[in-house]
Structure 1
Amino acid sequence: MLRKLLWWFVIVGLLASLPLAFFRQETETSSNQVEFVFDYRDLLEMSDVRPNPQGFVLQQLQAMKQAGIGSLAVYESTLSELRLSRRIEVFSSREATSLTQKPISPNENFTYILFTDPSSEAKIKPMIENTFAKLNVKTSPWDFKNQPGLIIEMNMEEANLKPMDPDPITLELLKDHGFRIVVRLGNKREFVTNEMDALLANLYKMGVRRLLIDGDYAPGFSDDPKQVQLHKMGILLAKYDMGLANIEMLKQPQKGFGVLAEETGYNVVRLHSFTEKDGEKLTESLVKEDREARIQQTADRIVLAVKDRNIRMIFLNGRAVKNLEKGAIITPLDAIYESLNGPDGAIKRIEEAGFTVAPAQKFDYSYNSYQNIARFFMLLGSISLIVLLLGYFIPEASLLLFVLGLIGASGLYFLSPSLYAQALALGTSIAAPSIAVIEAIRSVQAGRAARAKSAVLYAIVQLVKTTLISLIGVVYVVGLLNHISYFLVMQQFRGVSLLHLLPIAIVGLYLLFFREKLNYQQRGEQVKKLLKANISVLWVVVAAAGAAVIFYYLSRTGNEGQASPFERYFRSFLENTLGVRPRTKEFLLSHPLFLFGAYLTVKYRNAVYLLLIGVIGQLSIVDTFAHLHTPLHISGIRVVYGIVFGLIIGLLLIAAWEIVTRSWKAWAAKRRAAVKG
């Protein structure tokens, strides 16, 4: 009676969660603009090794426009960057002595600046003077051969590091050339509200609508526990309708990002970075085929980021590299342009997938009051699902566990809503695939496999039924973590390693000690017998092999998992052929072996142990949807492909088994007949 009631709670919670999945789908489809941004500082550094730096910059700006790069990232200025932009020339005291042929005090270690033209002097000089005045560093006029300049009473190495407002001449240049501007601001300067207000107002006039944090700390972040300045920065961003970009796969989240995102109403887009090191791979000495393959891999990478990870901003970088074999300095720019606009370029494929190349827009998200109603039913359903799993092991304690679970989860919600949601999501994600496979095992134990009229049909039904039960966990995970912060990967689903290990351990424990109807004393005897068993060398070898398999299995989970070159090629082939790549461990390993095991249980009861491998595929289904930055429809297609191809391979495996066993029986019969004859 209690188990039936718990299943009803699970179903009600499931139905309550479905609208939340619909709301998420609506959010995912609310923005389809993809913005390509190039790092302007990288372009300046590449121009510094060209005979005509400014001409090179203008030439590349035109090429970028044609390639579909519509935005450029501009940083806070430094003396070094202003020198690269040819606004100023910078000298140390020693260099100034050589230049002017006038002796300078040996105790002097200042920075000397010459402005390259009147426009630079008019716009850059006040900015430099104000910056160093705030640092209590004296500046004074200086000139050389009627060329005006400044003396900064700070050593050149340190002076070159001091950040200033973005170069106004560069901003005007890029705007005049039709580029959108993305500004990178860091936390290297003292935060002054009025000055930041004025800076953002000026940037707004220049068309800036999105900000990238430069470094590990957001502007305004401090040691203040209340983060007053950080909140002021967020208010200013909201005032000027400026959003943020969340850079994916950072080692550590940028400090203060979450506060700014919340203050701006989550005006945030996800950003994928194509780094300078990535660009270097396009500058190596390669034969034509290998170069084209690298360019194609770059295009594939960009398309995959947009389509599969809800990336809406692609940040492109590059640097000039010395190529000793060619005796030249090479940049990756032409290869990057080709990866975007080549015959099978990223932009064409992105547009075919339903996206447009335009300024990145935030996803339309609003908190729906229905979530308050759904939360109650999801609490009942998720606790019920977890208790149903525990009930396979200690059924007498189910009621107590249910009551304790409700009390504990409710308390956790008031303590930390985020921790509450993640804990229940992890619990349901572990419980659903575990229950799914245990139910398949119980089907064999109950004799339904032996009574099946068609072994193939029984196996297919078991795989489909098991998958449907696992999908219950999927719906709960999607419903419980239905917040834009998970969608933008500002918060992440925790416990991936537990999800990949615990269901296997739980089902293995059930197989060993709980599938038979034994009392606790008899199970204790089984455990005692196992613990007292003599350990042979073979056992040690098997245990070591098992540990190696587990280590390799865990190393493949999450974003840090490594893949061999052949596997990367195979993945790319599947992606380009099918549009969405199914998970190899599902359709090549787990689903076929589960189907094969279910087929064999009709004749051989001990084949039930093969069903344990099916847990990997079932937990992988839940894990696919636990990648909350992946669109739901992409995850759904991935799972369907896994089931379909897994069925096909499993049926081929069954056919091969039948051919081998029947051939063996025929040969054995002939052998016996020959012996008798």
Structure 2
Amino acid sequence: MKGRYLRLNQWAVKALWWLVILGMLASLAIAYERYQTEEGSGRRVEFVMDYRDLLEISDLQTDPKRFVSDQLQKLKEHRVGSLAVYEATLNELQLSRRLQVYSSQEAAVLTQSPGTIGENFTYVLFESGETERRLAPVIRQAFEDLGVAVRPWNYKNQPGLRIEMAKEEAVLKSMDPDPMTLETLKSQGFTIVFRMSNRRAFEAARMDALLSTMKDLGVRRIIVDGDSVPGFISEKDVSGLDGMGEILTKHKIGLAVIEMQKTPQRGFNGLAQRIRHDVVRLHSFTENDAQKLTENITAEELKGRIQGVADRFVLAAKDRNIRMVLLNARAVKSLEKGRILHPLDSIYEALTGADGAIPRIAKAGYKMAPAEPFQLVHSSWQTPAKLLVWAGSVALIALMISYFIPEITAVVFLLGMIGSAGLYVLSSSLFSQGLALGAGTSAATLSIMVALQAARRKLDKPDGNRLLFAIGLLLRASLISVIGLLFIVGLLNQIQYSLVLEQFRGVSVLHLAPIALVGLYWLLFMDKVSYKERWARAQSMLSSNISVLWIVAAAVLAAAGYYYLSRTGNEGQASDWEKYFRSFLENTLGVRPRTKEFLLSHPLFILGAYLSFKYRSALLLILAGVIGQASVVDTFAHLHTPLQISAIRVLYGLGFGTLIGIALIIVWEIITRSWQRWVPRLNE
């Protein structure tokens, strides 16, 4: 019985490799449709200036209206064709010079009357009769919806309103956007992007009327202002989201999702799903980012920062599928220079100056125009294809485990299929992400275990060309890693991942798990010995006396691991010199290879494979190659990055890593031959 099972298990191993191959082919087909989605649509990048920021900067200028007019002209000259307009507030209308706002005490001083004792209202004085005609209904509607009385008021025949709410609170209340500003901006040729909040109660009829007006003004996209989307009530009550989704779909208005938010806007994913993911990714250049361009630094330092901003915009468009860049700015008081500074001219320089962002983005094949969502290419055959990807992923995980305990391969596969099917019933998202994580980890681990076995055989039988063997072994290991990345692409080919509405969790695990598994394999499972001997070896290691050197080594490894993780993922940290080096690579090559691959892991792998003909300890260098293989897989786990960019990045890493590895071999040969030649002479 046992012999029959073992024969069946050996046959199962071969069958599992065929399942992996079929899964790879299915993943390739799915990846091609993702490539078509990325390359065939949405290749427009829209730069949007925050209009409210212009107003706030203008409030500190000698001639605010002239300043805004000049900046609008400069925005056109520097190819910024869109403006983000918020819901109006009394404060913003005052910044626009449409009206003046007074408290009860200020109104009393203005009118030179004693006023009413105990009153704390808000008084509004319009710029002109035309302004009163256009804006008074908007203000009345907003405050009457809140149950606040609004009455006529005037001063010296200048029309106004009295709002029975304290000024400090009244200036914060949101209302419909300023129609005069919208019409002026549209007449000047700007595309309007609406920044909409959820601060007002959702009413379908009023929202429908508002968005109908916005559509007539050319609005095609909304940036949510605040921590929840319009229509969001609670996680349980989705009636507002249903209504908002219907209205947005009716008027063909989409959303923009702001990348790298610490806290996702509540209700965004639900609303995006209701409008069939008419969503584009937005990168926000914040006021704090812009303020760095006004600091007291040298001209050379400012030039470097402007270049850094340009590089940042280019990377956002090329590497992260960003289709909208929101530009913010803030005026600052400079005590050193004794004047008010703003960063607008530096931002313009970053956009269209020498080596500016916009020409480089256009050169990469993008058009400066209003952003468009992805036109999803998703054929009906993807459903049965994903069944093959599912089976292939489980087979790959089982094959990786077979390198540790080969006798249970078939059982692991069967249990994996049953368990993953149950996980799919529980959560399709957990199913896809769990399999993708398992397949990616297994591929990176397998690649090094296969390489270690091949190098071990060369140590026993050192024949052939060592350099060709080293290069070939790296390519072989990388091809095995490609299996994992294909499964990740195949399993997570949903628009939610491309838009980062849903994230692939476990990137840190994908980096660390292969290192731990390969280390365990090298310590206990690489040698063909019995399980009893392996257990004895493990017990011996666990019962060994710990020396101070071991403690120091553990501390060094822990620090290296912490540094390694701190640089992993979208929020990874990098030093200033490293950022400069990355920028140099990006500007020189167009796509930056990962430094951990071409500067560290791949060269050490090649050197180790070259030396494995003579030295058993050279296997440790091959072991270090697991970092590079995990990085190869992880590159494609960044699902918001276009496939073409990820592929080029990996190829650059292999190419430059091979060249540096060859350089290490040359240095090694020079040192060893010099040692062999000169040391005997010195002894003589």
TM range (shorter): over 0.9
Q: 1:224 to 1:451 in 2, by over 3 A?
A: closer
Equivalent of residue 471 in structure 1, options 482, 498, 502:
482
Structure 2 gap ranges (5+): 1-10
**What per-residue deviation string (whole Å, max 9, x for no partner) do you get for residues 49-81 of structure 1?**
112111111111111111101000000111111
Q: CA deviation at 1:498?
A: 0.5
1:118 maps to amino acid: G
Equivalent residue number for residue 21 of structure 2: 11
Q: How does 1:639-650 map to 2 (within 5 A)?
A: 639-650=650-661
Equivalent residue number for residue 520 of structure 1: 531
Equivalent residue number for residue 318 of structure 1: 329
Equivalent residue number for residue 191 of structure 1: 202
Equivalent residue number for residue 353 of structure 1: 364
Q: CA deviation at 1:287?
A: 2.6
Q: Distance in 2 between matches of 1:502 and 1:105?
A: 73
Q: Distance in 2 between matches of 1:120 and 1:450?
A: 91
Q: Distance in 2 between matches of 1:352 and 1:363?
A: 20
Q: How does 1:44-193 map to 2 (within 5 A)?
A: 44-193=55-204
**What per-residue deviation string (whole Å, max 9, x for no partner) do you get for residues 640-670 of structure 1?**
1111111111111011111111111112332
SS at the partner of 1:282? helix
Q: CA deviation at 1:671?
A: 4.0
2:13–2:410 Cα contact (<8 Å) kept: no
2:21 maps to amino acid: I
2:44–2:323 Cα contact (<8 Å) kept: yes
Equivalent residue number for residue 45 of structure 2: 34
2:459–2:614 Cα contact (<8 Å) kept: no
Equivalent of residue 679 in structure 2, options 657, 668, 673:
668
2:198 maps to amino acid: N
2:284–2:325 Cα contact (<8 Å) kept: yes
Q: Distance in 1 between matches of 2:326 and 2:621?
A: 47
1:12 maps to amino acid: L
Equivalent of residue 588 in structure 2, options 577, 584, 587:
577
1:25 maps to amino acid: Y
1:450–1:603 Cα contact (<8 Å) kept: no
Q: Distance in 1 between matches of 2:613 and 2:229?
A: 62
SS at the partner of 1:73? strand
1:9 maps to amino acid: L
**What per-residue deviation string (whole Å, max 9, x for no partner) do you get for residues 387-427 of structure 1?**
01111112111111111100111121122111111111000
Equivalent of residue 252 in structure 1, options 263, 268, 279:
263
Q: Distance in 2 between matches of 1:640 and 1:530?
A: 40
Q: Distance in 1 between matches of 2:129 and 2:78?
A: 34
Equivalent residue number for residue 533 of structure 1: 544
Equivalent residue number for residue 447 of structure 2: 436
* TM-score, structure 1 normalization: 0.98
2:317–2:323 Cα contact (<8 Å) kept: yes
**What per-residue deviation string (whole Å, max 9, x for no partner) do you get for residues 84-119 of structure 1?**
111111011111111111112221111111111112
* TM-score, structure 2 normalization: 0.97
Q: CA deviation at 1:209?
A: 0.4
Cα RMSD over matched residues? 1.1
SS at the partner of 2:293? coil
Q: Count the aligned residue pairs.
A: 673
Equivalent residue number for residue 625 of structure 1: 636
2:459–2:615 Cα contact (<8 Å) kept: no
Q: Distance in 2 between matches of 1:525 and 1:611?
A: 26
Q: How does 1:225-624 map to 2 (within 5 A)?
A: 225-447=236-458, 450-624=461-635
Q: CA deviation at 1:454?
A: 1.2
Q: Distance in 2 between matches of 1:539 and 1:496?
A: 29
Q: CA deviation at 1:546?
A: 1.0
2:46–2:323 Cα contact (<8 Å) kept: yes
Equivalent residue number for residue 6 of structure 2: none
Q: CA deviation at 1:31?
A: 1.8
2:224 maps to amino acid: I
**What per-residue deviation string (whole Å, max 9, x for no partner) do you get for residues 560-591 of structure 1?**
21111111111111111111111000000000
Q: CA deviation at 1:369?
A: 0.9
Equivalent of residue 669 in structure 2, options 642, 648, 658:
658
Q: Distance in 1 between matches of 2:229 and 2:379?
A: 30
1:452 maps to amino acid: D
Q: CA deviation at 1:606?
A: 2.6
1:449–1:601 Cα contact (<8 Å) kept: no
**What per-residue deviation string (whole Å, max 9, x for no partner) do you get for residues 225-253 of structure 1?**
14011111011111100011111111011
1:436–1:467 Cα contact (<8 Å) kept: yes
Q: How does 1:191-230 map to 2 (within 5 A)?
A: 191-223=202-234, 225-230=236-241
2:33–2:378 Cα contact (<8 Å) kept: no
1:241 maps to amino acid: K
Identity rate of aligned residues, in percent? 55
Q: 1:105 to 1:226 in 2, by over 3 A?
A: closer
Q: Distance in 1 between matches of 2:130 and 2:216?
A: 20
Q: Distance in 1 between matches of 2:544 and 2:437?
A: 35
**What per-residue deviation string (whole Å, max 9, x for no partner) do you get for residues 271-301 of structure 1?**
1111111111111233322222221111111
1:78–1:161 Cα contact (<8 Å) kept: yes
1:444–1:450 Cα contact (<8 Å) kept: no
1:615 maps to amino acid: V
1:471–1:622 Cα contact (<8 Å) kept: yes
**What per-residue deviation string (whole Å, max 9, x for no partner) do you get for residues 627-651 of structure 1?**
1111111111111111111111111
1:508–1:612 Cα contact (<8 Å) kept: yes
2:186–2:217 Cα contact (<8 Å) kept: yes
1:431 maps to amino acid: S
SS at the partner of 2:625? helix
Q: CA deviation at 1:47?
A: 0.7
SS at the partner of 2:276? coil
Q: Distance in 2 between matches of 1:366 and 1:140?
A: 57
Q: Distance in 1 between matches of 2:461 and 2:326?
A: 59
Q: CA deviation at 1:224?
A: 5.3
1:69 maps to amino acid: V
SS at the partner of 1:281? helix
Q: 1:449 to 1:492 in 2, by over 3 A?
A: farther
1:450–1:601 Cα contact (<8 Å) kept: no
1:78–1:163 Cα contact (<8 Å) kept: yes
Q: Distance in 2 between matches of 1:640 and 1:454?
A: 24
2:456–2:612 Cα contact (<8 Å) kept: no
SS at the partner of 1:211? strand
Q: Distance in 1 between matches of 2:92 and 2:169?
A: 14
SS at the partner of 1:306? helix
Q: Distance in 1 between matches of 2:75 and 2:516?
A: 54
SS at the partner of 1:322? strand
